[in-house]
Amino acid sequence: MAGTGDVVKQHIEAFNARDVAGEPWAADAEMTAPGASVSGRDAVLGFLGVFHEAFSDGRLVIQKLIVDGASAAAEGRFVGTHDGVLHTPNGDVPATGRAIDFRWAAAYEVNGEELLSEHLYFDQQEFLTQLGLV
């Protein structure tokens, strides 16, 4: 049986590999992020897919992972090149060609081998500035 940290790492590895089948999200998973809140595996994967489309080489790098029972917290960086359309609540942002490298942190809840929730935090100002939008 995979531990909580293993499930979080599986998600990060699947995200980086664009391996939707390898994602450990539960059917009733939920995710919150700046400007977004989605429920259900398909909706979570759709949210993550926005980043895959906008940053074809984008990847998450974990710098710290803390586990406490079924809960985990991580911090890291997202690095990539904005080479695709970024779909946002305020409209689509065409590719800027800019490299980005911004900090993120997340709190996770795991049940067995499934990821139940992620609460993602990142500095929107830093993100938009790196894209040249601010």
CATH for 126 = 3.10.450.50
Band the pLDDT of 35: cuts 50, 70, 90. Answer: confident
Give the DSSP per-residue string, 56-92.
TT-EEEEEEEEEETTEEEEEEEEEEE--S-EEETTEE
Number of domains in the chain: 1
What pLDDT sits at residue 132? 94
Question: Residue 95 sits in which domain range?
Answer: 4-130
- Give the mean model confidence (pLDDT) for residues 41-62: 97
Residue 35 burial by Cβ neighbours in a 10 Å radius (0-12, 13-18, 19+): exposed
Q: Which amino acid is at 18?
A: R
What pLDDT sits at residue 1? 63
| Mean pLDDT for all residues in the chain | 96
What pLDDT sits at residue 97? 97
- The pTM of this model reads 0.94
Quote the tokens at residue 97. Answer: 């060609």
